[in-house]
Chain A
Amino acid sequence: MFSVYSWVLLFQIHISQHSGRLFPDPSGDGGKWLDAHYDPVAGLYTFSSCVDLADLSGDGESRLVAGDLGCGASAMKLKVYRGTALMSESALLDLPSGLVAFFMDLHQPRIPAVAVASGPCIYVYKNLRPYFKFTLPGLEVNALEQDVWQQVREGQIDQLTLKEMLEGIRRKADVPLSVRSLHFLSLETNEMDQFIQLHKQQPIRRQTVITVIGTLKKSTADEDGVSCLVIGTESCDVYVLDPEAFIILSKMSLPSVPTLMDVTGQFDVEFRITVACRNGNIYILRRESDKPKYCIELSSHPVGLVRVAKNVVVGCTDESLQGFTQKGKKLWRTLVPAPITTMASMDLPTRGFQAVLVGLANCEVHLYRDKNLLSSIKTPDAVTSVCFGRYGREDGALIMTTRGGGLMVKILKRTATFDERDSAPGPPPAQSVRLNVPKKTKLYVDQTLRERENGTAMHRAFQMDLSRMRLAAAKAYVKALESSMAPVSSSAAEPLKVNAVVQGLGPSFKLTLNIQNTAAARPVLNLAVSFLYDEKLYRVRTPYLRVPLLVPGLVYPLQTFVECTSDKGVSDIIKVFVLREGRSAPLLTAHINMPVSEGLPLA
């Protein structure tokens, strides 16, 4: 019995929890962020991979470094913001694919360099001045292609033959064609000659393109320790570069082209490179092998990759967010309300807080800890890059750029707290709360024991009592029928039904008797109605009523007035008898429970 009750209780708790969730916080971020700066026309078009925060002057004030991809008329630029103002900008030669700030030496004061990856090169800036350019080694060139171009240079073949041969090579060869040959194949016939004249003297080179860039601490885990650059290329390779000499320290290959990357650890000790690739898989590279150690196969393509402590959080194109361990075991999956545009980690070591920021296409930025949504920020435009960290002198700064080129800076309030709110459907937390069930008493235990031992006897006793009760009820009913005490008569001669209605508040009541002949065809004649009541209490205006001929089926209302003569506020039963003329026994009886008279009797 108890368990049923507790389930009902739990069900109610469940319902109330759900109804509470129907009305979320309307203000969105719940007053956790201060709006420090918003410039909707900053003209900064960039992605999370091209944004970094670093103390570029060594004065304890962090700057925002961004590789601006430009938009239409505006060209590609390297921009540095200090506070709310643009501090410097310099032109970039090619579209930036990634940007990182890193310490490349041990010189004092500790000023980080900025590395911008674009095309096959990395441009390193120190003190915001170009310092070094590193170009990836060229790839192997198809020997046949080289021969063909050699013949062109010697004038042995014409342009149409060249085109045919190159197309043949493209179809069959293992080593793909160089950019120059591919460009040649895309030309119209009249442009070919000029192109050949321009390029035939130069040697053929095949270059790859950098797709992602990251940093890896060399030997110490210090904040300002020297870092190696880690780059992923279109040729499905991952390189680790020495920061001082810019030589390739390590080369690892992947089954597909890397698109997103996260690096952790130290190069000299142990490191882990998590790479999301264009084939929809995530590969995890370790120090000791040049092949991926673990592989995570996703159901849809990844658009964001963030590491939180030892776990990896991946945002996918199917509007989902998934968590994996560092060995590739899936931990959880949750859905987000709109397509993900970008992701970044939010790490506040002073408060021991780590979470994931997810920019969504519906102009919101959501903050997730594991699969729980902690807060959401509404933005005036869809966000294309998100970056959280120390900006200026503020540790908890959130920097976002929008699709329209806007720049937004928000600062986390000192007093803001994020409470874990389980947004996942399923049993509510109240279900796992133990109810305060009282201990079983001795009486309860004794009774339970008795019930268990004498179950059969108890059941029999109960059944016997039940039968007796039914018998008593049947006897009483038969008696009532025999003495016509019931309001329904089932005798063959006069099948009648009567019901009574009392109207009024008192002391005068109107009594209406509805009499019906229930016989199929035969009318009933010679009936009368009389009342039996306490004469000290009531006075009935017409204590004897003659009943007219009763046509079968019709209801005959007979009315009379009853006056209550007592002012004591008591009530009694009035018995109504339906009689046949010439017979003393009533055909049927109705008992009317009179209501208490609420008015005073007239004097």
Chain B
Amino acid sequence: MGLFDKLAAWLGLKKEVNVLCLGLDNSGKTTIINQLKPSNAQAQDIVPTIGFSIEKFKTSSLSFTVFDMSGQGRYRNLWEHYYKEGQAIIFVIDSADKLRMVVAKEELDTLLNHPDIKHRRIPILFFANKMDVRDALSSVKVSQLLCLENIKDKPWHICATNALKGEGLQEGVDWLQDQIKTMKT
């Protein structure tokens, strides 16, 4: 960390990072972002996102601006317009929805093969959400089904989460923060 960064951190000025939050509808993207916000700014009711919404939250050293994209089929073609701006991607998967795992894989493959993403070393954080649901798949099984081992040129990390309670989120965000910091320096 350079001298200026140290100074900035000491002054409380944090570096801005743009993050895209993607995933199928009903996977829990908005709930996760809501959990990451400070408790006084959290919303009580989460409704399906229309189009997208922009949320901000801070960690120990970074200030995140999250593009919370709608996951509904008809809005998924909006995603690619924000790929250029994103410096990191959070991909949320409903690990209880076995049927649509193929759809999540299809959308992930489309994302990874997009020209704006393909040749960038952009960190991707996977949240295998809804791990509290009774017959949810484990994060290992999810990464198998999505063939995550084939992602060779980008740093990625998967963690099982329960967005309703906030379990597992902090681990993922810490990883993302480390990745962004190493990427910068």
Contact = CB atoms under 8 A, between A and B. Distances in A.
Nearest to A34: B102
Interface string B101-138: 11100110010000000000000000000000001000
Interface in A223-256: none
Interface string A404-432: 00000101011100000000000000000
Contacts of A395: 73
A36 B102 contact: yes
Given A34-B106, A85-B135, A393-B26, A350 B99 contact: no
Interface residues of B, number: 18
Nearest to B96: A83
Given A85-B135, A393-B26, A411 B102 contact: yes
Contacts of B98: 37, 83-85
A368 interface: no
A394 B102 CA distance: 11
Nearest to A33: B102
A394 B74 CA distance: 11
B99 A36 contact: yes
A350 B107 CA distance: 19
Nearest to B107: A414
A233 B102 CA distance: 43
Interface string A391-408: 111110000000000000
Given A85-B135, A350-B74, A414-B73, A393 B102 contact: no
Nearest to B72: A393
The B interface, classified by DSSP as helix, strand, loop or mixed, is: helix
Nearest to B71: A393
B100 A36 contact: yes
Contacts of A393: 24-26, 97, 100
Nearest to A391: B99
Contacts of B26: 60, 393
B6 to A, nearest CB: 46
B73 A409 contact: no
A36 B73 contact: no
The A interface, classified by DSSP as helix, strand, loop or mixed, is: strand
A337 to B, nearest CB: 29
A572 to B, nearest CB: 70
Contacts of B99: 36-37, 83-84, 391-392, 394, 409, 411
Count chain A CB atoms within 10 A of each CB in B24, B97, B99, B106 and give the residue with the most.
B99
A414 B76 contact: yes
B106 A413 contact: yes
A35 interface: yes
A60 B72 CA distance: 13
Interface in A18-65: 34-37, 60
A411 B100 contact: yes
Given A350-B74, A393-B25, A393-B26, A415 B110 contact: yes
A327 to B, nearest CB: 36
A394 B103 contact: yes
Contacts of A34: 102-103, 106
Interface string A375-401: 000000000000000011111000000
Per CB-CB distance, the 6 closest pairs between chain A and chain B, nearest first, are A83-B99, A34-B102, A84-B98, A392-B99, A36-B102, A36-B99
10 contacts: A36-B103, A392-B97, A392-B99, A393-B24, A393-B100, A394-B99, A394-B103, A411-B99, A411-B103, A414-B107
Given A84-B98, A392-B100, A395-B73, 5 more contacts: A34-B106, A60-B26, A393-B24, A394-B103, A411-B100
Interface of A: 34-37, 60, 83-85, 350, 391-395, 409, 411, 413-415
